[in-house]
Amino acid sequence: TAAILLKDYRPSDYAIGRVHLDFQLHETETLVTATLSVRKRETTVAGTPLVLDGDELDLVSIALDSVSLGDEAYSATPQGLTVKTPPAAPFTLTIVTKLDPASNTKLMGLYRSSGVWCTQCEAEGFRRITYFLDRPDVLSVYDVRIEAPVAAAPVLLANGNPTTSGLVPDTDRHFAVWSDPHPKPSYLFALVAGDLGVVKDSFTTMSGRHVDLGVYVEHGNEERAVYAMDALKRSMRWDETAFGREYDLDVFNIVAVSDFNMGAMENKGLNVFNDKYVLANPDVATDQDYGGIEAVIAHEYFHNWTGNRITCRDWFQLCLKEGLTVFRDQEFTSDMRSRPVKRISDVRLLRSHQFPEDAGPLAHPVRPEKYMEISNFYTATVYEKGAEVIRALKVLIGDEAFKAGMDLYFDRHDGDAATIEQFVACFAEASGRDLSQFMLWYSQAGTPQLDIRDDYDGDNRTYRLTLSQSLGPTPEQSEKKPMVLPVRFGLVGPNGEDMLYETAKGAEVNGDVIVVDKAEQEIVFTGVASRPIPSILRNFSAPVRPILNMPIKDILFLMRHDSDPFNRWQSASTVAMYCLTASTEALRAGSSATIDGDYLAALAEIITDDALDPAFRALVLALPQEADIAREIGSNVDPDAIAGALRHARRTIGSKLGPTLDHLARFYHDEGAYSPDAESAGRRALANAAQDMRAASGNADVHARIMEKFGAATNMTDRLAALVSLVQNGASEAEQALGDFYEGYKSVPLVIDKWLAVQAARPGARTLDEVKRLTEHPAFSIRNPNRVRSLIGTFATANLPQFARADGAGFDFVADKVMRLDDINPQVAARILVSFRSWRNWEPVRQGLAEAALKRIAAKPNLSRDVRDIAERSLA
């Protein structure tokens, strides 16, 4: 199969104005009758063949204007259908296909999940239901009739508003008809039918429209859907106040399903969710789970405007909806919780997921220009970097122009399938700024480096800041141009406050933002009273990698005093990273690891500063992870040395700050009733981070105390935190705790995911055998994406020393599983395979072993396009 290229885009020859779908649901023999109103586009030559997409389809019949098409008039394969010479006038095409939802293990198109019929159509799943112009720029109005046995599927849902429903006379079946007045692309189609429980509520929009809300879950789980409903209502209100966006149908439904490839899906009026992002109560969900539910519910709801009302012209424009919607959900969470804490968490995620992508063989621009399989582009680059680029744009043009640009975008493009050019043009117009150089953020892959040097001239009271940017080569892009980097900054004076200056020359400086748009710029500040310490890239104003050429003592000063909370955290993290990389090097050279005493003192000062938000302090206490350190080191990486350095640092902090950590763990430990709000969650985060660091000291009494807390915990946050501390820190109580946990929660699959993940992330050479054994455990299923990600995914992405074992057994295990999954669910298989992406950064022995594993996968017969694409790009 050939690659699809952005530059080859052209509109479809035909439009499909209306779609009528009739589903006769059956477990293994579902019949779908699609009636399509097709019309030739004006510029299309009459008689041009109509070429419809299909994927593993079984055609039963086809008629044009109600007359069966003769064999000579069309050709059909499971992968497509061509009507050879369609009429020039508008016509109706009636296509009947037969589907087997029960054996659809790819979970794309129509499939069964725990007895429920459900669909997933993004990106190219609709073509697994019927032959269609399955591309986002073909917008149609849909009517859907669903018929199913009453007993198996009392609930029948589709997009839009419900119209009629009733019993089918003389049968055990009933039907429902749904109509969606808003034209939409096929990837937003959805249907759900099953025996489900529901939580109902309603919402009145700002213009007074009454909306019925429903969250559908398995019977018995209704109480666990209450928080999701609350998050939905808050999202709806927030989008009205923050973006002026109102909901546009009479109903909005969410359905939780247990087998789902992604997190959730924004189908118009009928969001389908991975149950992980719906179900919560204090006994089974952690604070992190609650936060995830709030964010994903919001994200999918916000897509109603950024994605559905305004959709993408083609899949290259995926970031048009995803980057923007992530930006919007980040803003929502910031308003609901703590803005700095949210910012730090997002940047940590960006660094751990997106930076490695940008630095390896799978690097691609935020708007890719080529793909083999679009499913492989639902990446951290498209989502998270896509959001960062919008955030940087807002810093560049200012809040007011940004808001005006958003309003213009909604106004001008409502109902369109739009492009990034059209989106950015709205901000250029609103701000009056030429954004052509800014567009490089969408076309150049890789993380720019920003090198920072400075010099103070006391005699002339001038301060010189030299900022230079560089961007290394990425696949198919060797030469890069300088980008526009909005750099938020402050000149921190000896008392910790920002210093004043008289003039700034050498670059555009707007308030506290320097606009860097050349390879190198020297900014000269006059009237600076004393030598400042530069605080650069405050609030992480652009997704770049800063290179600070600063003495540690200056960074420690910022860690203690910077008025920007982000840079306080950043400085703590920078010093920790400095210690950890130095220790890693020392351990490899046969000497011993060390940790900076001044860092320990500053750390103790911050974590005990009661004026600071506990959630912020918990983040300062969290050290960089193994993969972060590996990325920082960059080449010839030895994961065992990294693990040793980290172990040493944690042990040292855990013992040297022992009493402090004990105090925090006790003081912030919540005894009262659980509440998922940000403040309570922050207290728990600090108590548990302190407890965990304390556990790293290896002190047996501490472990015994944590075991007690594990047993006595009244919520999953504390219980899981205790379990993780015991297992990660090699406590003798670990086995007992794992056994108790399993016994307590074996009937709750989402908690079993945590149990699997804890064991997959466990340090030590025995883990691989344990993980292999767990793949045979009755609680595990290779067909369920959540189970697979929890066990195999965690092992491959969150246990670097064991995945990248020096004997290659970790690679071989993951490769075997990828090949097995390839026959079941290629999307999930491809996702797992991405864990190999940094293989060239490892030391030579591991590199060779990883390469061999990748080659073994690439050689598998009948390899899916998804896995082939990742394997080949990884090896290229």
> Which stretches of the chain bind Zn ion, using CB under 5 A?
322, 325
Q: Which residues of 627-643 are buried (b: 16+ CB within 10 A; e: fewer)?
A: bbbbbbbeeebbbbbbb
Specify the residue, 186 or 725, whose C-beta has the smaller distance to ligand DPP.
186
Question: Residue 55's binding partner, choosing from ligand DPP, Zn ion, none, with beta-carbon cut-off 5 to 8 A by kind?
Answer: none
Which amino acid makes up residue 740? D
SS3 state of residue 530: coil
Q: How far is the CB of 383 from ligand DPP (least distance, A)?
A: 7
298 binding ligand DPP? (CB under 6 A): no
575 binding ligand DPP? (CB under 6 A): no
Start-to-end CA span in the chain (Å): 17
Q: How far is the CB of 107 from Zn ion (least distance, A)?
A: 17
Specify the residue, 119 or 325, whose C-beta has the smaller distance to Zn ion.
325
**Distance (Å, whole) CA 600 – CA 602:** 6
Whether the Cβ atoms of residue 198 and residue 118 lie closer than 8 Å to each other: no
Measured in whole angstroms, how far is the alpha carbon of residue 634 from the centre of its chain? Answer: 24
Q: Which stretch in 20-28, 262-270, 462-470, 546-554 sits in contact with ligand DPP by CB under 6 A? A: 262-270
Q: Which stretch in 297-305, 729-737, 772-780, 790-798 sits in contact with ligand DPP by CB under 6 A? A: 297-305
Q: Which stretch in 264-272, 520-528, 709-717, 757-765 sits in contact with ligand DPP by CB under 6 A? A: 264-272
**Distance (Å, whole) CA 854 – CA 848:** 10
Specify the residue, 308 or 541, whose C-beta has the smaller distance to ligand DPP.
308
Q: How far is the CB of 187 from ligand DPP (least distance, A)?
A: 8
Which amino acid makes up residue 653? I
The dihedral formed by the CA atoms of 542, 545, 548 and 549, expressed in degrees to the nearest 10: -130
Q: Which residues of 860-873 are buried (b: 16+ CB within 10 A; e: fewer)?
A: beebbebbbbbbeb
Q: How far is the CB of 247 from Zn ion (least distance, A)?
A: 17
Contacts of 64 by beta carbon, 8 Å cutoff, 6+ apart:
73, 83, 86, 87, 91, 92, 93, 94
Q: At 292, which helix (H) or strand (E)?
A: helix 287-302
Q: How far is the CB of 212 from ligand DPP (least distance, A)?
A: 23
- With CB under 6 A as the contact rule, the residue among 122, 137, 294, 562 that binds ligand DPP is 122
218 binding ligand DPP? (CB under 6 A): no
Question: Residue 599's binding partner, choosing from Zn ion, ligand DPP, none, with beta-carbon cut-off 5 to 8 A by kind?
Answer: none
- With CB under 6 A as the contact rule, the residue among 96, 251, 265, 687 that binds ligand DPP is 265
Q: How far is the CB of 261 from Zn ion (least distance, A)?
A: 13
What single DSSP character describes residue 498?
A: B
For every residue of 599-653, DSSP letters joined together read: HHHHHHHHHT-TTS-HHHHHHHHSPPPHHHHHHHH-SSB-HHHHHHHHHHHHHHH
Specify the residue, 322 or 346, whose C-beta has the smaller distance to Zn ion.
322
Specify the residue, 83 or 350, whose C-beta has the smaller distance to ligand DPP.
350
Which residue(s) pair with 36 in the sheet?
A: 19, 93
Contacts of 838 by beta carbon, 8 Å cutoff, 6+ apart:
356, 359, 360, 630, 631, 637
55 binding ligand DPP? (CB under 6 A): no
Whether the Cβ atoms of residue 227 and residue 676 lie closer than 8 Å to each other: yes
Question: And the tokens for 397?
Answer: 């043009």
Identify whether 300 is a catalytic site residue. yes
Specify the residue, 19 or 296, whose C-beta has the smaller distance to Zn ion.
296
Q: Which stretch in 85-93, 256-264, 342-350, 581-589 sits in contact with ligand DPP by CB under 6 A? A: 256-264
SS3 state of residue 661: helix
From residue 361 to residue 400, what is the string marking binding to ligand DPP with x (rule CB under 6 A)? Answer: -----------------x----------------------
Specify the residue, 265 or 687, whose C-beta has the smaller distance to ligand DPP.
265
Q: How far is the CB of 827 from ligand DPP (least distance, A)?
A: 11
> Which residue among 124, 218, 294, 300 is the active-site one?
300
Question: Residue 122's binding partner, choosing from Zn ion, ligand DPP, none, with beta-carbon cut-off 5 to 8 A by kind?
Answer: ligand DPP
**Distance (Å, whole) CA 830 – CA 874:** 11
Specify the residue, 303 or 762, whose C-beta has the smaller distance to Zn ion.
303
SS (H, E, C) 742-787: HHHHCCCHHHHHHHHHHHHCCCCCCHHHHHHHHCCCCCCCCCCHHH
Q: How far is the CB of 284 from ligand DPP (least distance, A)?
A: 23
- With CB under 6 A as the contact rule, the residue among 19, 81, 217, 262 that binds ligand DPP is 262
**Distance (Å, whole) CA 858 – CA 839:** 15
Question: Residue 275's binding partner, choosing from ligand DPP, Zn ion, none, with beta-carbon cut-off 5 to 8 A by kind?
Answer: none
300 binding ligand DPP? (CB under 6 A): yes
Question: And the tokens for 24?
Answer: 């006769």
Question: Residue 104's binding partner, choosing from Zn ion, ligand DPP, none, with beta-carbon cut-off 5 to 8 A by kind?
Answer: none
- With CB under 6 A as the contact rule, the residue among 53, 55, 137, 266 that binds ligand DPP is 266
Contacts of 603 by beta carbon, 8 Å cutoff, 6+ apart:
572, 620, 621, 653, 657
Specify the residue, 32 or 123, whose C-beta has the smaller distance to Zn ion.
123
Cβ neighbour number for residue 835 with a 10 Å cutoff: 23
How many residues bind to ligand DPP according to rule CB under 6 A?
11
Contacts of 55 by beta carbon, 8 Å cutoff, 6+ apart:
78, 79, 108, 109, 124, 127, 128
Question: Residue 869's binding partner, choosing from Zn ion, ligand DPP, none, with beta-carbon cut-off 5 to 8 A by kind?
Answer: none
276 binding ligand DPP? (CB under 6 A): no
Query: ω before 734 within 30° of 0 (cis)?
Result: no
Q: How far is the CB of 390 from Zn ion (least distance, A)?
A: 14
Contacts of 516 by beta carbon, 8 Å cutoff, 6+ apart:
450, 467, 469, 484, 485, 486, 487, 507
Q: How far is the CB of 79 from ligand DPP (least distance, A)?
A: 24
297 binding ligand DPP? (CB under 6 A): no
- With CB under 6 A as the contact rule, the residue among 127, 135, 268, 299 that binds ligand DPP is 299
Specify the residue, 262 or 752, whose C-beta has the smaller distance to ligand DPP.
262
Specify the residue, 299 or 413, whose C-beta has the smaller distance to ligand DPP.
299
Specify the residue, 342 or 538, whose C-beta has the smaller distance to Zn ion.
342
SS (H, E, C) 207-237: CCCEEEEEEEECCCCHHHHHHHHHHHHHHHH
Specify the residue, 259 or 322, whose C-beta has the smaller distance to Zn ion.
322
Q: How far is the CB of 274 from ligand DPP (least distance, A)?
A: 9
What single DSSP character describes residue 378?
A: -
Q: Which stretch in 126-134, 299-307, 389-397, 746-754 sits in contact with ligand DPP by CB under 6 A? A: 299-307
Q: Which stretch in 258-266, 451-459, 583-591, 728-736 sits in contact with ligand DPP by CB under 6 A? A: 258-266
Nearest position to ligand DPP, beta carbon? 262
Q: Which stretch in 31-39, 165-173, 226-234, 296-304 sits in contact with ligand DPP by CB under 6 A? A: 296-304
Question: Residue 265's binding partner, choosing from Zn ion, ligand DPP, none, with beta-carbon cut-off 5 to 8 A by kind?
Answer: ligand DPP
257 binding ligand DPP? (CB under 6 A): no
Q: How far is the CB of 303 from ligand DPP (least distance, A)?
A: 6
**Distance (Å, whole) CA 596 – CA 576:** 9
- With CB under 6 A as the contact rule, the residue among 287, 322, 331, 373 that binds ligand DPP is 322
Exposed / middle / buried, residue 67 (Cβ in 10 Å: 0-12, 13-18, 19+) = exposed
Q: Which residues are catalytic?
A: 300
Residues that bind ligand DPP (CB under 6 A): 122, 262-266, 299-300, 303, 322, 378
